[in-house]
Structure 1
Amino acid sequence: MKFRRRVVNDVEINLTPLIDCLLFILVFLLLTTTFYQQSRINLTLPDAQGVPEKQYDRKIEVIIDAKGHYTVNGQSVPTKDISDISSAIKKAAEGKHDAMFVITADAQSTHQDVIRVMDVAGQLGFVNINISTKMPT
């Protein structure tokens, strides 16, 4: 008796639909993802007893975060170089040196960072220099 052998077909996995689905999911995630860039600087102000803040028509505020990054009226200063800080303050002041100059420094920022801003403000001729603090709880 002669038996016939069965022909075994090779099993193939078609990856094309799988790749199509993965690309669709990738495109969907890229289109629905929002890239959030934090625009506020988190500061912990030092405590001090003082007078309430007055409202001024023109104010220049220099913010120093805990890592020593400077921001002048919301515009970030690229380096800690005195010339960069000076040019940013000049741009914000627009030639008016009688404006209120406020230094808002994080409690963890170094003393050198605050002194650098005070030195630049003094060289530019500002006379109303204040350091921002918070009332203790």
Structure 2
Amino acid sequence: MRIRDNRASDEPEINLVPLIDVILVLIIFFVITATFDARSGLKLELPRAAGAPGETTGQLSVLVNAEGRYFVDDREVLRTDVESLKATLAEVAGGDRDRQVLLRADARTPHQAVVTAYEALGQLGFRRVTIATAPPAPAGGPAP
């Protein structure tokens, strides 16, 4: 007597749900980590001047881009008025007013934006403010 196996033959299948979950998690991870450094996308053309480079350790960095937007260290100031800039500077610097401040302004920045940055720094009591410049263009060559 022959006993038949009435079970259906097992067909191999690939379950795609875990694969889709992993891919979505990876996409979200890469999108979030790609936005960590906001300043890396800023194009900043510094004004040119001759002089020796200074020390940059422990400085408070204030960046003004070509549109007149402010960035204090790694934080963007949402509005361009003096009070918003002062609030962000006070929050980032804390109570340390003897800290060196490096003001990095684009060469195409409106002059009013730089004056506003100096005004906010002066009102908060920062006295050691330096402005960043690029080295002069080589003689006979075009400026980059």
Q: Normalization by structure 1: what TM-score?
A: 0.71
Q: Secondary structure at the match of 1:78?
A: coil
**Could you tell me how far apart the structure 2 residues matched to 1:92 and 1:46 are?**
26
Whether the aligned pair in 1 keeps the contact of 2:47 and 2:133 (CA below 8 Å) is yes
**How many residues align structurally?**
110
For each residue in 1:54-95, what CA deviation from the matched residue of structure 2 results, as whole angstroms up to 9, or x when unmatched?
Answer: 244x31111011111110001001010211100110011110
What letter matches 2:55 in structure 1? Answer: K
Partner of 2:94: 94
SS of corresponding position for 1:112: helix
1:77 partner amino acid? V
Partner of 1:63: 63
CA distance in 2, matches of 1:64, 1:89: 13
Of all paired residues, the percent bearing the same amino acid is 29
- Tell me the equivalent position of 1:49: 50
Q: Which runs of 5+ in 1 are unaligned?
A: 1-26
Following superposition, the deviation at residue 42 of structure 1 comes to: 1.4
Between the aligned partners of 2:75 and 2:56, the Cα distance in structure 1 is 21
Compute the displacement of 1:53 (Å): 1.6
Aligned position for 2:13: none
Structure 2 portions without partners, runs of 5+: 1-19, 138-144
Partner of 1:124: 124
Letter in 2 for 1:95: G
- Structure 2 length as normaliser, TM-score? 0.68
Query: How does 1:2-21 map onto structure 2 within 5 Å?
Result: none
Q: Secondary structure at the match of 1:71?
A: strand
Runs of 4+ in structure 1 deviating by more than 6 angstroms, as ranges, are: none
Deviation at 1:50, TM superposition (A): 1.5
Higher Cα Rg, which structure: 1
CA distance in 2 between counterparts of 1:125 and 1:50 reads 26
Q: Which residue of 2 aligns with 1:104?
A: 104
Aligned residues: CA RMSD = 2.1
Find the aligned partners of 2:62 and 2:47 in 1 and give their Cα distance: 16
